[in-house]
Amino acid sequence: MYDSKIVAFAKYVPENIVTNDDLSKIVETSDDWIFSRTGIRERRISLSENTSELCAGAGENALLKAGISPEDIELIVLATMSPDYSSPSTACIVQKLIGAKNAVAFDISAACSGFVFALSVADKFIKTGLFKNALVIGGETTSKILDWNDRATCVLFGDGAGACVIERGNAGGVISEDLHSDGEKYDSLTSSFIPLNNVFSENTKDCCKWLRMDGREIFNFATRKVPASINSVLEKAKLSLDDIKYIVPHQANSRIVEIIARKLKLPMDRFFMNMDKYGNTSAASIPIALSEMAEQGLIGEKDKVIITGFGGGLTWGSAIIQI
C-alpha cells in the first residue's frame, strides 16, 4: 500500500450572481426569510456553462495549481447529481475538455455527499498503486433541475464546481473516513426521474422531473447523523477535535451547522461556511469551500481538516484529510 497526498484545491463558479432580492421577484419570498432560515444571501446561476464546463474549469485550475499537465493525470472521478447526460459520464466530457487523454474517467452519484465519496474512491486507487494521481471534482448546475415555481427549493441551491488533485505521497491524504447510505429514505430528495418509455408499456407518465425535497426530514437527518459521523472519523484516526484545524461541512444551511457545533460543543469559528455567497452547491460545496480556505490561507501544509457531507440517497459521510 502507498500513501496519498492532496496537493491542490481549486474552484470555478459561473459569473452570474442571483441575490435573494432577485428571487423575491420570481417567487413569494424575501431576503429576510431566506437568510434567517438558511444563511444564504446569494448564489451563482449559470447562463451558458453546463456541469461539464464548470467541472472542466475547476479541474484545469486544480491542475495548474498542482503543476501537473492534463496528459499526466491518470484518473478523473467526478461527483454530480446534475450531469450533462445520463451517458456518457460528465467525467468523460471533462476529460475531452481539459485534454486529459490518458486518464480513466467516471462519475459518482451520491448527491451532496458526492465529493466525500469521490475523494474516498480516488484515495483508494492511489493507495493500492493502480494510479499515481487523480483529479477529484464535485460540480453541479442544480439550476437546471430546480422547479423555479417552488419557493421551498429554488431559493436554496446554486451552481459551481470545485476540485482537488490527490497523488502518491509521503503522508496525508485521507486519514480516516466514515461513509453511509440509507436507501429506505431515497424519496426524501429526488430529481430528474426518467420514466419508462417504450411502445409496449403504458407506464410512460412524465413526472418528478424537478428536484423534490422533504426539507425538514433532511434537516433532522443531517443534525442527527453528522455529529456521530465526525466522532467516528476521529475515533478511527485516534485523534481528538483539538487535532483538527477546521470542520468543513456541506454548505446546505447555517442552522444545520449551528446544531452540529452545539452537539460537538465546538465554537462556530471552527467551522468554515460560505453558503452566504454560493447557496447549496451540492457535490461542489465542500471542494469550493476547501479552495476558498486555501486561497485565504486558512489551511496549509500538514493541517488536518474534517470534511462532512449529507444529502440525497440518503447518503452521508465524513473524512479526516491532511493537506
Residue 252 as a binder of ligand UT7 (CB under 6 A): the answer is yes
CB of 30 to ligand UT7, least distance (A): 6
* Nearest-angstrom CA–CA distance, 172 and 153: 37
Instruction: Give the H or E element holding residue 195.
Output: none
Cα dihedral 165, 316, 238, 258 sign: positive
Nearer to ligand UT7, 70 or 311 (CB): 311
Question: Binding segment for ligand UT7 among 82-90, 164-172, 175-183, 211-219 (CB under 6 A)?
Answer: 211-219
Of 311, 315, 322, 323, the one binding ligand UT7 by CB under 6 A: 311
Q: What is the DSSP string of 51-70?
A: HHHHHHHHHHHHHHHHT--G
Q: With DSSP H G I counted as helix, E B as strand and the rest as coil, what are the percentages for the chain, rounded to 5?
A: 40, 25, 35
- Taking CB under 6 A as the criterion, the residue among 253, 281, 291, 308 binding ligand UT7 is 253
As given in the structure block, the three cell numbers for residue 323 are 493537506
Residue 280 lies near ligand UT7 (rule: CB under 6 A): yes
Tell whether residue 216 is a contact of ligand UT7 (CB under 6 A).
yes
Residue 29 binding ligand UT7, by CB under 6 A:
yes
CA atoms within 13 A on the CB side of 301: 2
Looking at 110, 135, 211, 218, which residue binds ligand UT7 (CB under 6 A)?
218
Catalytic residue among 112, 154, 164, 253: 112
Q: Minimum Å distance from CB 240 to ligand UT7?
A: 27
Task: Pick the closer one to ligand UT7 by CB: 38 or 52.
Answer: 38
Candidates 88, 99, 169, 215: give the one binding ligand UT7 (CB under 6 A): 215
Q: Does 25 bind ligand UT7 (CB under 6 A)?
A: no
Whether cis (ω within 30° of 0) applies to the bond prior to 211 is no
Peptide bond into 267 cis (omega under 30): no
Residue of this chain nearest to ligand UT7 (CB atom): 215
Q: Which is nearer to ligand UT7, 4 or 80 (CB)?
A: 80
Indicate whether 189 belongs to the interface with ligand UT7 (CB under 6 A). yes
Q: Assess whether 207 carries a catalytic annotation.
A: no
280 is catalytic: yes
What residues are paired with 158 via a beta bridge?
none
Is 102 a catalytic site residue? no
Question: Which parts of 39-98 interact with ligand UT7 (CB under 6 A)?
Answer: none
Tell me whether residue 38 or residue 51 sits nearer to ligand UT7 (CB atom): 38
- Angstrom distance (rounded) from CA 315 to CA 323: 25
The C-alpha cell of 31 is what? 431576503
Using rule CB under 6 A, residue 112 touches ligand UT7 = yes
Q: Which residues contact 79 (CB under 8 A, 6 or more apart)?
A: 107, 108, 109, 110, 114, 115, 117, 118, 136, 137, 138, 139, 283
Residue indicated by cell numbers 452540529: 260
Select 10 or 189, whichever has its Cβ closest to ligand UT7: 189
37 is an interface residue for ligand UT7 by CB under 6 A: yes
Q: DSSP letter string over 92-125?
A: HHHHHHHT-TT-EEEEE--GGGHHHHHHHHHHHH
**Positions that interact with ligand UT7 (CB under 6 A):** 29, 33-34, 37-38, 112, 151-152, 155-156, 189, 213, 215-216, 218-219, 222, 252-253, 280, 311
Q: Which residues are catalytic?
A: 112, 250, 280
